Amino acid sequence: MPTNCNGVTRRDSIQLGLGTLLGGGLVTALRARGLAAEAVNKPIAKAKACILIWMDGGPTHFETFDPKPDAPEEYRGEFKAIPTAVPGCQYSEHMTRLAKNLNKYAMIRSIRHDQGNHGAGNHYMMTGAPPRIPVGCGAFVSFHPSMGSVVASEMGARAGLPAYFSMPTMSRSGGPNFLGAKFAPFVVGEDPNGTNFKVRDVALPQGLTGERFDDRTGTRAEVDTLKRFMDKQAGDPALALDDHYKQAYDLMNSKEAQAAFDIGREPVRVRENYVRNGFGQRCLLARRLVEAGVPFVTVYDGGWDNHADIFGGLRKRLPGWDQSVAALIDDLDARGMLASTLVIALGEFGRTPKISTLSGQNKAGRDHWANAMSVLFAGGGTPGGTVVGATDGKGFAAVERVLAPENFVSTVYAKLGIDPGKILYMPNGRPAHLVSDPTPIKELM
């Protein structure tokens, strides 16, 4: 039985002759202390799934969730501020529905970091680990497993369904790293708003019956007797291919998967409420996948890198985006699923406080800014109407309740019942902390 320098075990007590002398008192006390320690260290799972809305490019905090109406014009921009359901908290004028239902979710306004380009910022917010070397804006980097891959590894999914989906593409740091290809996301690139929406690998190829497909699968298994030359976790490409082949086979034979992707079953009013565009229908599809038992779904939403024409572009984009995300939260709440489903919306960083004009362009924009950002955080027991932290009067930096990406990622894991302080082991045996600072955001717990 293992021991440590902070106490004695039951066996130690018996060997010392104390068991009878002290009755059960000491043993009971030590056992109670041990159980209490386990309860403190192990997160209490409130959520069973997570929908991550990834706003790729770095969404502006000024024109969304953290306007600065009292700042000079070159900082506050063209949009007005409106009240929310929380007294004293204001949103930008185009976030009307999310402003009205802030009582259903939390808003974090004080996460900051030091990675001001897309590649590094993406990695930090997607994994909770800063990149080990300088990373350029266009880089696709993976020094650590993404949240989606960790959740897939730790929680799994129902038979026939991958545990991690990403639509319509994978974020540049959304992969599994040393966890292996088995925990990479299943990417649904097709547009669910299309008239003939079909997902690859979920239906048999035309002209191939189920019986013929099973025959071919059996033949492949008989032929494939080559000894694998590397450990699976080390990235043997043949074994990775096996994982993808099995995943595709399971999907083709999964009634749950086929039902989840049949978005046409949704009433017209529901589809309209989510907004009839690619982003809105992916939010709806994410809800259907979670309902089917998938624990992690990323809705990749690109185009938030507003260096130019930020006001013209966002006037067109924000009303629909606001409606889609609000519809997702409301729908989950109405179905009794919000208590067990996280909904998170964020990007790699915020935007510069002072409006700028890029060389050769005459339309105002904002550039990369990692000192301040806003994160929407809903579900899994998160107290609605909670606003965590604040930025200064011009939106330069988080100044109240300053938090790091590690705190954000640790909160996601803790909500899902995963210990953010867990030690992972690479194929070569080298240990790696899941999150180096495993401290969740207490206001959201």
- pLDDT tens-digit map of 366-416: 999 999 999 999 999 999 999 999 999 999 999 999 999 999 999 999 999
Q: Which pLDDT value is given to residue 233?
A: 44
> Are residue 144 and residue 3 in the same domain, yes or no?
no
In a domain, 212, yes or no: no
- Residue 312 parent element (H or E): helix 310-334
Tell me if 290 is assigned to some domain: yes
**What is residue 196's predicted lDDT score, i.e. its pLDDT?**
86
State the pLDDT at residue 217: 53
123 and 153 housed in the same domain: yes
Residue 222, domain member (yes or no):
no
Does residue 419 share a domain with residue 284? yes
Helix ranges (DSSP H) in 207-304: 210-223, 237-252, 255-261, 268-273, 278-292
State whether 175 and 303 are in the same domain.
yes
Is the same domain home to 5 and 138? no
Q: What's the rounded Cα separation, in Å, for the pair 9 and 1?
A: 8
Domain boundaries, position 33: 1-41
Same domain, 9 and 124: no
Q: What is the pLDDT of residue 198?
A: 86
Q: What is residue 228's predicted lDDT score, i.e. its pLDDT?
A: 45
User: Does 6 lie in the same domain as 142?
Assistant: no
Residues 80 and 3 occupy one common structural domain: no
Same domain, residue pair 10 and 129: no
Helix (H) or strand (E) holding 408: helix 405-415
Q: Establish if 284 belongs to a structural domain.
A: yes
Distance of alpha carbon 418 from alpha carbon 18, whole angstroms: 38
Structure tokens belonging to residue 81: 């501020």
Residue 236 lies in a domain: no
- Region of residue 380 (left: phi > 0; alpha: psi -120 to 50; beta: else): left
The whole-number pLDDT of residue 227 equals 45
Count the domains in the chain: 2
Q: Mean pLDDT per 10-residue run, the chain (445 residues)? A: 39 36 42 46 78 98 98 96 98 98 98 94 96 68 92 92 96 94 95 88 56 54 47 49 60 79 96 98 98 97 96 97 98 98 98 81 87 98 98 97 98 98 94 96 97
Assess contact for 400 and 367: CB atoms under 8 A. Answer: no
Residue 245 domain-assigned (yes or no): no
One domain for residues 33 and 79: no
CATH number, domain of 143, equals: 3.40.720
Task: Report DSSP state, residue 232.
Answer: G
Residue 288 lies in a domain: yes
Model pLDDT, residue 32: 47
Which residue spans within 136-206 are E strands per DSSP?
164-167, 186-187
Residues 325, 184 within the same domain: yes
In the prediction, which pLDDT does 257 show? 82
- Amino acid identity, position 323: Q
* Residue in the structure block whose two tokens are 């350029």: 136
Report the predicted TM-score, pTM, of the whole model to 2 decimal places. Answer: 0.83
Is residue 90 in a domain?
A: yes
Do 338 and 413 have their domain in common? yes
